[in-house]
Structure 1
Amino acid sequence: MTSLGGVEMVDWNLAVATATRLVRPGPEVSRDEAREVVAELRRHAKLSEEHVRSFTRLEPTRVDDASPTFGGETPPPVLVVDRAGWVKANVAGFRELLSPLLGKMRERRAGMPGGAVLGAVGGKVTGVEVGMLLSFLASRVLGQYETFAPATRELPAAADGGGRLLLVAPNIVHVERELDVAPHDFRLWVCLHEETHRTQFTAVPWLRDHIRGEIQSFLQETDVDPSTLLERLREAAQSLTGARPAGEEGEEASDRSFVELVQTPAQREILNRLTAVMSLLEGHADYVMDGVGPEVVPTVAEIREKFQKRRASGAGRLDQALRKLLGLDAKLRQYRDGERFVRAVVDEVGMDGFNRVWTSPNTLPTKAEISKPADWIARVHRKAG
Structure 2
Amino acid sequence: MLRELLSGSGGIDPSRLAGAAGLPDDPASIAALFGQLQQAMQQQGDGIDWSAALRQGEQRAAAGQVQVSDEERARIGQALQVASLWLDEAVDVTSLPAPAELLTRRAWVAATMPVWTQLAEPVATSIADALTRVMTEQAPEEMRGMIAGASRMIRGVGGALFAMQLGQVVGELATEVVSGGDIGIPLVEDGHAAILPQNVAEFGTDLEIPADQVELYLAVRELAHARLFRHARWLRLHVITAITAFARGIDIDTERLEELAEGFDPSNTEALRDAVASGALISPRSQSQQDALDRLETMLALIEGWVDVVTADATERLPKAAQVGETIRRRRASGGPAESALATLVGLELRPRRLRDAAAMWRKVTEAVGIEGRDALWGHPDLLPTAADLDDPAALIARLTGSDEAEAIAEDEFDQALEDLLRGDMPAAPGEDGEEPPKPAS
TM-score (norm 1): 0.70
Match of 2:397 among 374, 377, 385: 377
The equivalent position to 2:313 in structure 1, one of 275, 291, 304, is 291
Amino acid at match of 2:166: V
Say whether residues 1:173 and 2:209 are aligned partners. Answer: no
**CA distance in structure 2 between the partners assigned to 1:85 and 1:213 by the alignment:** 25
Question: How many Å apart are 1:76 and its aligned residue?
Answer: 5.0
Shift of 1:112: 3.9
- Deviation, structure 1 residue 55: 1.0
Deviations 1:135-172 (A, max 9, x none): 332222111247466xxxxxxx5xxxx45322122110
Is residue 57 from structure 1 mapped to residue 99 from structure 2 by the alignment?
no
Whether contact under 8 Å (2:229, 2:235) holds in the other structure is yes
- Give SS of 2:69's match: helix
Number of equivalences? 329
Note closer, same or farther for the CA distance 1:312–1:216 as it changes in structure 2 (3 Å cut).
Answer: closer
In the alignment, the residues of structure 2 paired with residue 226 and residue 261 of structure 1 have an alpha-carbon distance, to the nearest angstrom, of 5
Kindly state the Cα deviation for residue 278 of structure 1 after the two structures are TM-superposed.
1.0
Q: 1:39 matched to which residue of 2? A: 74
Amino acid at match of 2:153: V
The answer as to whether partners of 1:365 and 1:376 remain within 8 angstroms in 2 is yes
Q: Gaps (5+ residues) in structure 2?
A: 1-38, 134-146, 261-278, 408-442
Alignment check: 8 A CA contact 1:7 1:106 kept: no
- In the alignment, does 2:235 pair up with 1:199? no
Q: Distance in 1 between matches of 2:386 and 2:380?
A: 13
| Cα-to-partner distance string for 1:201-243 (whole Å, 9 max, x where unaligned) | 11122222322332343244344x6628959x9xxxxxxxxxx
Q: What is the identity, as a one-letter code, of the residue corresponding to 2:45?
A: G
Give the 5 Å matches for 1:151-162. 157=189, 162=190
Tell me whether 265-274 or 35-44 shows the greater mean CA deviation.
35-44
How many angstroms does 1:192 deviate by?
0.6
Over 3 Å counting, the alpha-carbon distance change for 1:48 and 1:128 in structure 2 is same
Query: Which structure has the greater CA radius of gyration?
Result: 2
Deviations 1:165-186 (A, max 9, x none): 2212211010111223211111
Matched, 1:350 2:370: yes
Report the CA distance shift for 1:268/1:313 in structure 2 as closer, same or farther (over 3 A): closer
Q: How far did 1:130 drift?
A: 0.8
Q: In structure 2, do the counterparts of structure 1 residues 328 and 348 end up closer, same or farther at CA, with 3 Å as the change threshold?
A: farther
Do structure 1's residue 303 and structure 2's residue 331 form an aligned pair?
A: no
Which stretch shows the higher mean deviation, 111-120 or 329-338?
A: 329-338
Of 153, 157, 166, 1:117 maps to 153
CA 220–190 in structure 1, closer or farther in 2 if over 3 Å, else same: same
Identical columns (%): 24
TM (norm. structure 2) is 0.62
What is the deviation of 1:96? 3.8
Q: Does 1:276 align with 2:314?
A: no
- Per-residue CA distance 1:325-348 (angstroms, 9 max, x = gap): 588986163432321221122223
Structure 1 residue 52, shift from structure 2 partner: 1.8
Quote the residue 1:68 is aligned against. Answer: none
Contact 1:77/1:165 (<8 A) preserved? yes
Which residues of structure 1 form unaligned runs of 5+? 61-73, 150-156, 234-256
The one-letter code of the counterpart of 2:213 is D
What amino acid maps onto 2:76 in structure 1? Answer: L
Greater Cα shift, 16-25 or 348-357: 16-25
